Structure 1
């Protein structure tokens, strides 16, 4: 009961934080409409959110490998919300980039520590990690709806109202951290030697996650505008497409945890990327309402491997779980944001459909990289008793 409650609260907190990751993409059409940004300029906002986040997450992960910092969960949640809340108040592009970057740092600080805490709370369970990831996916899915509800009938001046999920997320962090701080009977600190790390496999996995990140970030940045074009300029079509892209991740994460209980995680990831190749092709090429089905399939195909790749990374680097989480959740994911401005420039010089076409190759590259990966046989935390947050001291 204590484990289930902890995972549930962590999932809710994760949802509140990831609203702000999804909010960046959801705000793009409003920035374009109200400030006449070009595709390239608008995609720079996504870059600001992802660049600092991608660099900062491994740094925060390395810190959490040395010291437990559970206080980061509520503090970083508030930071992520405040940045987005302030992003629409100034017409200055520089200040907009700054506030979005502040939100990105908050998101970066949250994920490595929360992944470590979720692994501890779930006692190394793939299913528990998938439910934790589900919370984030729900937050992503809710982001366009929340942004549309707050700003859709007003203007960017309403962005301060977007701080409310952060307040809720910070509040639910407190009881779960108190529960995990209580020592459990028989709990002991277990140190995994560096020799247990499989660095080569971790690097290949990270490259596969980079390819996944490129296609997902590219689609999340431009899917609203692409769907509007495919549906004769309907703004509702853009909101629905972005919602489906994020909502399919909720289904994919739970399905991934279920499949990992029956098959090897690496095998599940391979088949998911094969599905994604066909689905992404459909998103870009299929006309009319069928594009929404392709968006949903793309989301599921890209999110089935998501939580599995987090636990794979932790199992490949069992002595550095925080670093592994920071890389798989941060650095590799953030690199996708670096590609968005290139897609924006290409869309400005050609068409948006032409600019998105190269994304079809990304899940294929992920599949090729995963073909050579082994399934870890001795994950670091499946054989060791989880360590209480309060018990961790300076290394």
Structure 2
């Protein structure tokens, strides 16, 4: 399931990785380019909680391969469409595929992981690897053959769909192929809503950096498109380290303590990305990636434990917000960049991790569903 997750999340990273090529080949403005990111995220943000609610009621393993294929088909078509509207439609299809995949995959992964933070971290790591590989895959295909070569980008989806069939059969067998048994426990909606606010803040920062760091870093460090691709790879690859570290640190210090400290690191690191000149900006990108990714899998398990009776809904919202809210905000950042400068547009991203940290102030560690009476909140 982790490898299949990597194959699907290639397409979340691929949309941002295609932005410089849309700007270069089609002369898109910053606002138009960020509109592509919005198209991939908007429908995803709307339908992913719906898919989550459905998977709370029924095991739907067929969503895994179907979502993978839709995600790949949309990105593959985006480079060969003849108009801006068709490009938006293609990446929107990809976003819906991603939305269909994640809630069922997270529910099945939680069952396979037995509630382990470290094991869920491995599942999330698969998605981080997919994100990290996306710029390299896009560069290998589009930089050589242009946007017209984008149909080759469907190949990871075919592999992911094949892996999803096997994972889906296993998940369907465990679930009996019918209704999902409701977990015991009380849903804590106030805590879940505060957590969701923090996830939304993280999303705007991460998607904003994903959309524009490849355009911004060459002006700070030099090196042209290659420097931009390298910065995007650092942003995504640092997430793999952050996700693994997050799970391990949470086992020792508690999830909320780790998440809060990660957001403090993110404030400093994002400020460095925006303000530090020269090659040192790559180090700031790496630290920003760690600060934003350490909380990633912990958000998922915190949300699932806050809503033990609606694990699919919690997964759909936390995973959906992780990308979609940032995609909705991306056009505003692009419009601000067009009106002022890219640096000015990125400055608001420095403040949002602090807002996320404040939203988590006083929040208590939820007791996982099924925990014994000796379990204590932190």
Q: Flag whether TM exceeds 0.5 (same fold).
A: yes
**2:57 and 2:180 in contact (8 A); partners too:** no
Shift of 1:183: 4.9
Counterpart selection for 2:198 from 198, 208, 228: 208
Shift of 1:192: 2.9
Shift of 1:97: 0.1
**1:74 and 1:171 in contact (8 A); partners too:** yes
**2:74 and 2:91 in contact (8 A); partners too:** yes
Cα distance in 1, alignment partners of residues 366 and 355 from structure 2 = 21
1:256–1:332: structure 2 CA closer, same or farther, 3 Å change rule?
closer
Shift of 1:270: 0.3
Q: Look up the match of 2:247.
A: 257
1:280 and 2:270 aligned: yes
Shift of 1:332: 5.3
Cα distance in 1, alignment partners of residues 354 and 147 from structure 2 = 38
1:243 and 2:233 aligned: yes
Cα distance in 1, alignment partners of residues 6 and 21 from structure 2 = 23
Q: Look up the match of 2:71.
A: 80
Cα distance in 2, alignment partners of residues 381 and 109 from structure 1 = 28
**2:15 and 2:36 in contact (8 A); partners too:** yes
Shift of 1:353: 0.6
- Large movers: runs of 4+ above 6 Å: none
Q: Look up the match of 1:3.
A: none
Task: Give CA deviations for 1:197-248 in whole Å, capped at 9, x if unaligned.
Answer: 1100000000000000010010000000001211235111100000010001
Q: Secondary structure at the match of 2:9?
A: helix
Q: Look up the match of 2:214.
A: 224
Pairs aligned (count): 369
1:167 and 2:155 aligned: no
1:370 and 2:355 aligned: no
What is the RMSD of the two structures over their aligned residues, measured on CA atoms?
A: 1.5
1:77–1:141: structure 2 CA closer, same or farther, 3 Å change rule?
same
Q: Secondary structure at the match of 1:153?
A: helix
Shift of 1:382: 5.2
Q: Look up the match of 1:5.
A: none
**1:54 and 1:108 in contact (8 A); partners too:** yes
Q: Secondary structure at the match of 1:152?
A: helix
| TM-score scaled by length of structure 1 | 0.91
Task: Give CA deviations for 1:119-143 in whole Å, capped at 9, x if unaligned.
Answer: 0011111111000000000000000
Which consecutive residues of structure 2, in runs of 5 or more, have no partner in the other structure? 373-378
Task: Give CA deviations for 1:2-54 in whole Å, capped at 9, x if unaligned.
Answer: xxxxxxxx100000000000000000000000000000011000000011111
Shift of 1:181: 4.0
Q: Secondary structure at the match of 1:291?
A: helix
Shift of 1:336: 1.1
Shift of 1:372: 1.9
**2:199 and 2:321 in contact (8 A); partners too:** no
Q: Look up the match of 1:113.
A: 104
- Within 5 Å, give how 1:63-102 maps onto structure 2: 63-102=54-93
Cα distance in 2, alignment partners of residues 130 and 166 from structure 1 = 22
1:317 and 2:307 aligned: yes
Cα distance in 2, alignment partners of residues 147 and 183 from structure 1 = 37
Counterpart selection for 1:380 from 364, 369, 378: 369
Cα distance in 1, alignment partners of residues 282 and 69 from structure 2 = 33
